[in-house]
Homo-oligomer: A and B are copies of this chain.
Amino acid sequence: MELSERKKKILRAVIESYVQTAEPVGSKAVADLAQLNVSSATIRNDMAELVERGYLEQPHTSAGRIPSPKGYRLYVNELMEDYKLSIQETQRINEALDLKMRALDRVIDEAGQAVARLTQYPAFALTAPPERVTIRRFDLLFVDQNSFIAVVMTDSNTVRNKLFRMEGELSPSQLQMLGTLLNTGFTGLTLAQLTPELARVARHAETGAYALIELVVSFATEVLEELSKLPVHTAGIANLLEHPEFQSLEKAQPLMSFLDHADSALLPAKVSPVDGSNIVIGPENVSEALKDSGVVMASYDLGGGMKGLIGVVGPTRMDYAKISAQLAYVAKGLSQIIGQAALPADDKHTKEGTT
């Protein structure tokens, strides 16, 4: 059965007050807030029913009510009004996102930091796992007889390079040959295919060249491995301590450790990266450490159909409306920054270069 309009208003008032104050909300307070023109007694009756149906909870007899995860869920799905970002907020976000066009890792890292500052919650950011990335091409740059740089480009447009130093000598023309070999033999292969192919080639190639091929292909393997590992950037972990629910160490500690080690890909595996802003409340989280937390995420575009995820973690008591709005805005900005190629003769970039 649907909740009556009044009960919804009460639920909403409870949630919005609780989100602000972190204190259980009493019937009197709701009466004042919700503008319902009914007495606190009436509201008491309704609140009793909301408890019964699982939308609210009482920490103990005769404290006020606090929202249950189910209550938050209803609020998020139906009751919450879209939060309108203030001009200051959009400005602050824009400033924070006015990142130089750095390596992708850096951009994402800084975006996470910006979000942490903005929301006062710990933030995480990650790039989606590109399962089937392949090497698109190799470039070998001659440095001197004893060293060269290998540049590897994947079909997800990631470019990585590495300086190799050797004991033997190598001429530019030899290097060029090597490049041709690599580009004909080892492009278009996924991580899983790369090593077998290397073994296959080992049988035909001459020993000297093979050692070099192996070096560069190993590097390519590392690049693909790195991409499939999707490091989770976290920022602002200490922000957790600002919030009253984490005043008690026992509550804060597990979550902080969890965030500290979030690299282990736990986070992304468990939350479903659905398009747009995305809210996971308390027990909806699969990960044990997040059972009492809320997670708000937004996905952004990495180009080539790939998605990244940026979000914050906090207590279930969060201003979901505001945070989703902020995240959505950041994600949009990120998509643009990443998608936007460096255009020549673009004034903005000219300026950026000199800062």
Size range of the interface on A?
35 or more
Tell me, yes or no, whether A343 is within 8 Å of chain B by CB: yes
Known: A151-B149, A151-B161, A153-B149. A344 touches B168 (CB 8 A): yes
A78 at the binding interface (Cβ < 8 Å): no
Asked whether any CB of chain B lies closer than 8 Å to the CB of A336, the reply is no
Report yes or no: A166 in contact with B344, Cβ–Cβ below 8 A: yes
Interfacial chain B residues near A249, Cβ < 8 Å: 241, 247, 249
9-residue interface stretch from A12-20, A80-88, A90-98, A99-107? A99-107
Q: Contact flags (1/0) for A65-89 with B, using CB distance below 8 Å?
A: 0000000000000000000000000
Residue of chain B at shortest CB distance from A167: B343
Q: Which residues of A contact B (CB under 8 A)?
A: 100-103, 105-106, 113, 139, 141, 143, 147, 149, 151, 153, 157, 159-168, 195, 198, 211-212, 214-215, 217-219, 221-222, 225-226, 235-239, 241-242, 247, 249, 252-253, 256-257, 259-260, 263, 341-345, 349-350, 352-354
CB<8 Å pairs between A and B, sample of 25: A101-B162, A102-B226, A103-B160, A105-B105, A139-B151, A149-B151, A159-B161, A160-B161, A162-B342, A165-B341, A167-B343, A214-B344, A214-B350, A215-B344, A215-B353, A218-B349, A218-B350, A221-B353, A221-B354, A222-B353, A238-B253, A238-B256, A241-B256, A242-B253, A247-B249
